Every structure is written in C-alpha cells, then in structure tokens.
Structure 1
Amino acid sequence: MATENDVVLIHFEDQPLSFARIESILPDNKPDWYHVKLLMLQIPLQVVTWILRDRYIMGDEFTMNGKRMRLELVVCPDISPEEDRHDEQEPETPSVEKEDGSATVISFKDKFKR
C-alpha cells in the first residue's frame, strides 16, 4: 500500500498519465475512506485531494467522472554494482591543507563531471 511521501504513477483509462507524491492520508468520516493529498509532479505543480477507499490506495481500479483510474506505487529499481561503476578511471583529486594544518579540503569539481 502506498503511504505518505511515496511516489505513485496515476493511470487514466489504462494509460500512464502523471506522477504524484502522496503528501498526506487522513481518514474520512466513512469507514475505509481517506482524504489523499497528492502533489502532482508536473508543470505547474498542483496539489489535489482525492477521497479514496483504502483498496484504491493499494492499487485497485476506481472511476472518476466515469473514467477508469488507478494508482501504482513507484519503486526505485536496484542498481547493480556493475551498472554503477564508471568505465573511466577517476582523476586524482587535489587536496589543499589549511594554513594551520587542521583540515583537508577536497575538490569535488572534477569528481562529479561525467
């Protein structure tokens, strides 16, 4: 089940429509219904609140204005160590000592160039 701060993909009529982050899930007066506040991750940013059943937050299909909708939890894919490695050798990063010799400053300028 998606929870606060999770990113979901909103499907509209079986087509991916937009990503959103769940800002809050608050109970409604009716049992098993919730006010789901979503930050729509599009331009311009927009905040909407949908009243949904718990099973809809879990990914079951529902309708809005007669149109089929569905929320799908987005899970970050694992990156294997082989994919994360750079093919190039990292250049030596120069270090500079403070005048009193108490600390070393390392430049990240070249480290993050791709």
Structure 2
Amino acid sequence: MATINDLVLVHIENKPAFFARINDINADVKRGWYQVELLVLGLPLQSIVWILEEGHLQGEEFTMGGAPVRLELISPKIKLSPPPAPESDSKGKIIPLKRKP
C-alpha cells in the first residue's frame, strides 16, 4: 500500500501520465475515504488533493470524470541492469597517468 513519502506513477486511461510523491494522507469526513495530497513531479511543481479509498492506495483502479485512473507504487529499490561490456576488438592506446623517472 502506498503511504506518506512514497513515489507513485499515476496512470490515466491506462497510460502512464505523471509521477507524484504522497505528501500527506488524512481521514476524510466520509468514513473509509482519505484526503491524499500528491506533489506532482513536473514543472512547475504542483500539489493536488484527491479523495481516495484505501484500495486506491493499493493500486485498485478508480475513475475521475469517467477516465480510469490507477496509482502504481514505485519501489525505492529499483534494480538497474549493468552497462554493456565494452567491445574487446578495439585496441586503445594506454596513456600512463604518472611519468616514469
């Protein structure tokens, strides 16, 4: 479940739309709903508040104005693939960093 300070990718109409950080989550007056403050990570920075259920913070799809919307939690431990190994067929010149006496 996404919570305060988590990074989420917001999908609108089943397409990635923008990244946002969850700044705050407060109970709404309607039981089971929450006021979720999102900091939209774009230029200019923008703060929005959406009223969502707990399931929406767990990735369940919901609609806004008839458009399907979904929050995808971005893991802080993103694994990057290692860079490709350099090709061995090219012969480079070795330049010493220290002069020989």
**TM-score class, shorter:** 0.7 to 0.9
Q: Which runs of 5+ in 2 are unaligned?
A: 87-96
Q: Which runs of 5+ in 1 are unaligned?
A: 92-114
Percent of pairs with identical residues = 48
Match of 1:77 in 2: 78
TM-score, scaled relative to structure 1: 0.68
Match of 1:12 in 2: 12
Mapped partners of 2:79, 2:65: distance in 1: 37
Q: Secondary structure at the match of 2:70?
A: strand
**Structure 1 residue 78 displacement after superposition:** 3.1
Counterparts in 2 of 1:1-114, with a 5 A limit?
A: 1-75=1-75, 76-78=77-79, 83=82
Mapped partners of 1:78, 1:72: distance in 2: 17
Higher relative contact order (CA 8 A, sep 6+): 2
Q: CA RMSD in A?
A: 1.8
**Structure 1 residue 79 displacement after superposition:** 5.1
Alignment: residue pair count: 84
Match of 1:112 in 2: none
